Amino acid sequence: MNLTLIQMAQMVGTAMESATTALLTADLALAEEVIAQDDRIDTTQHDLDAKTLDTMARQQPVASDLRILVTSLRMSADLERMGDLCHHIARTARMRYPSSAVPPELAATIQGMGNSAKAIIEKLGRVLETRDVKLALEVERDDDEMDALHRQLFMILLADDWSHGIETAIDMTLIGRYYERCADHAVSIARRVYFLVTGEYAAALNN
C-alpha cells in the first residue's frame, strides 16, 4: 500500500507503546509526547487524504485503481482513530499523574494488552507493506489474544477482593475498551488488504 499508510502504522505503533508505558509508570512527559504525536498523525492523514482525492480527480482511475484509492481513504481513517485511542490512553495517564492509573493487580493485564496491541500494529505495518494475505489473517487471530486479555481485565475488576473502588474501575473499563477498539481497527484494515488482494471478504468482524 501507499508508503504514508505504512508510516502512519509506524506512528500509531510508537504511540501505542509509549501510551502503555506512560500509563503503567505514570510518566507524564511520555504521556504528553503521545498527545502531541496524535496531532502529527491527524495531519498526516489529512495530507494523505488530500493527495488521494487529488489523484482520484486528476487521473480518472480505472475501477481497480479506484478501489485501491478508496480503500486507502478508509484505512487512513482507521489509523487516525487508532491514534485517537492511544491519545485517550495517554490522557488517562496524565489525568491520574503522579499516581499510576493502573493498580498492581491489573498491571500485567494492561501490559499484556499494550504488548498485544503493539504486536498487532507492527504486523499490520508488514501487511500494508507486503499485502501478504496469510499475515492479514494472522492479525485477526492475534486479536483473539486481545479479547482474552479484555475478558481477564473484567474478571479482575469483578473479583470479590477488588479494593480500588469505582473510579479506578471506570478508568480500567474505558482503558480496556480503548485497547480492544484499537485492535478492532487493525483487524478492519487487515481485512481491507485481504479483500483488495483476493476480491473476497474474510469472515465477519464481531464487534
173 touches a copy of itself (CB under 8 A):
yes
Task: Measure CA 126 to chain center.
Answer: 15
169 touches a copy of itself (CB under 8 A):
yes
Q: Point out which span in 1-9, 19-27, 101-109, 152-160 binds a copy of itself (CB under 8 A).
A: 152-160
Site for a copy of itself (CB under 8 A): which residue of 84, 105, 132, 147?
84
Question: Closest approach of Cβ 202 to a copy of itself, in Å?
Answer: 15
And the C-alpha cell for 197?
488482494
And the C-alpha cell for 52?
488521494
29 touches a copy of itself (CB under 8 A):
no
Name the nearest CA neighbour of 138 among 151, 150, 127: 127
And the C-alpha cell for 194?
485481504
How many residues touch a copy of itself under the rule CB under 8 A: the total is 25
Site for a copy of itself (CB under 8 A): which residue of 104, 134, 155, 158?
158
Q: Determine the 3-state secondary structure of 30 from DSSP.
A: helix
And the C-alpha cell for 75?
484505512
Question: Closest approach of Cβ 170 to a copy of itself, in Å?
Answer: 5
Q: Point out which span in 3-11, 18-26, 50-58, 131-139 binds a copy of itself (CB under 8 A).
A: 50-58
Q: Which is it for the CA torsion 147, 149, 152, 158, positive or negative?
A: negative
73 touches a copy of itself (CB under 8 A):
yes
Q: In angstroms, rounded to a whole number, what is the distance separating the alpha carbons of residues 83 and 130?
A: 22
Site for a copy of itself (CB under 8 A): which residue of 29, 141, 155, 166?
166
Q: List Cβ neighbours of 112 (8 Å cut-off, separation of 6 or more).
A: 149, 152
Q: Residue 99 CB: number of other CB atoms within 10 A?
A: 11
Residue placing its CB nearer to a copy of itself in the complex, 10 or 156 = 156
Q: Determine the 3-state secondary structure of 32 from DSSP.
A: helix
6 touches a copy of itself (CB under 8 A):
no
**Which residues here bind a copy of itself, judged by CB under 8 A?**
53, 56-57, 60, 62-63, 66-67, 70, 73-74, 77, 84, 154, 157-158, 162, 166-167, 169-170, 173-174, 177, 207
